[in-house]
Amino acid sequence: MVQVIYLGLLTMEQGVLVVSVEDGSPAQRAGLLEGDLIVGYASHPVSGIDDLHRLLTDERLGVRSQVTILRGTEKQLVWIVPEESPGETS
């Protein structure tokens, strides 16, 4: 869980914190940045890494999907095309 301070008010937001973005990755191509908080994927809420893993199924590989993020104090929508990581097999 990540605490977000907005205009001096402490709120609790759940999601997945982006701690790094690999060069050439789908995340980089989508425009995700370190510090972004992923709170939604393909119209589904994401409250933690387990939620995100459940949503990233083989059927979604190569399918353009919308990701909802919090960047600073702003909610933003970005598009991503997930792909299998090098070295992983289905």
pLDDT attached to residue 77: 95
Residue 32 lies in a domain: yes
Across all residues in the chain, what is the average pLDDT? Answer: 83
Residue 58 belongs to what domain range? 14-80
pTM, entire model: 0.78
Can you tell me the distance from the alpha carbon of 54 to that of 6, in angstroms, rounded to the nearest whole number? 30
Token representation of residue 36: 């972004």
Three-state DSSP class for residue 75: strand
- Report, as an integer, the average pLDDT of 68-85: 91
pLDDT tens digits for 25-55?
999 999 999 999 999 999 999 988 999 989 9
Residue 5 lies in a domain: no
pLDDT attached to residue 87: 62
Residue 90 lies in a domain: no
